[in-house]
């Protein structure tokens, strides 16, 4: 994780190869696929447009260690363009996938949908949340972290007001659970 943080802070793109640059975007997520040594950027926005694109750079950590360049490749995927979402790698039926949750679209509607992106070919799989799962509020600008191979912790965010709930999504059961704590953390976003 320290290497990834260092790589992101120090990553530069060869400006002589404009076609392979990562465009100037904000509100995106970045995930590191250690098994493929690949950085994966999902969504984000450029002006008013929310992207449904995936950008990836192979041999990412290797390039950082060698202080060389990796080129970015773009895949246009079939999901609602979004920014302010979260993305974490989870195991789904023993295969690693990127779990993408929430954010907001080009009309600034907050989203509560979740989807998987296959790490081999970036196919999109909408997630049908299991019956009996906790209903969760749509949100953007929340924080998330993988807490096991199959679970993602989500906290806070925004949907016209700051949120303070803490949730866990289990990729094996496709169930959301509210994490109960003795004291609730304060509402927060952009954290």
Q: What is the pLDDT of residue 82?
A: 95
**CB-based contacts of 155: which residues, under 8 Å, 6+ apart?**
142, 143, 144, 165, 166, 167, 185, 188, 191
> What distance in Å separates the CA atoms of residue 191 and residue 180, rounded to the nearest whole number?
20
Give the containing element (helix H, strand E) for 63.
Answer: helix 60-65
Tens of pLDDT along 140-187?
999 999 999 999 999 999 999 999 999 999 999 999 999 887 877 777
What token pair was written down for 182? 């003795």
Which of the two residues, 17 and 81, has the higher pLDDT score?
81
Confidence bin at 65 (pLDDT 50/70/90) = confident
Phi-psi region of 141 (alpha: psi -120 to 50; beta: other; left: phi over 0): left
> What distance in Å separates the CA atoms of residue 156 and residue 191, rounded to the nearest whole number?
9
Q: What is the pLDDT of residue 138?
A: 94
Residues 41-47 have a mean pLDDT of 91
Q: What is the pLDDT of residue 87?
A: 96
Q: What is the pLDDT of residue 191?
A: 65
Tens of pLDDT along 112-126?
999 999 999 999 999
Q: What is the pLDDT of residue 70?
A: 67
Neighbours of 161 (CB within 10 A): 10
């Amino acid at each position: 994780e320290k290497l990834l943080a260092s790589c992101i802070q120090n990553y530069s793109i060869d400006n002589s190869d404009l076609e392979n640059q990562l465009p100037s975007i904000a509100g995106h997520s970045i995930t590191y696929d250690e098994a493929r040594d690949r950085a994966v950027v999902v969504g984000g926005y450029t002006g008013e447009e929310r992207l449904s694109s995936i950008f990836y750079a192979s041999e990412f950590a290797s390039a950082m260690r060698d202080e060389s360049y990796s080129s970015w490749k773009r895949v246009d995927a079939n999901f609602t363009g979004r920014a302010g979402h979260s993305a974490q790698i989870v195991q789904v039926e023993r295969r690693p996938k990127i779990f993408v949750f929430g954010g907001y679209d080009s009309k600034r509607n907050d989203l509560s949908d979740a989807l998987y992106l296959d790490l081999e070919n970036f196919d999109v799989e909408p997630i049908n949340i299991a019956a009996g799962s906790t209903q969760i509020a749509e949100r953007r600008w929340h924080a998330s972290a993988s807490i096991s191979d199959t679970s993602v912790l989500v906290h806070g965010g925004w949907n016209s007001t700051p949120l303070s709930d803490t949730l866990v999504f289990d990729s094996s059961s496709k169930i959301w659970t509210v994490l109960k704590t003795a004291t609730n953390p304060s509402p927060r976003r952009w954290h």
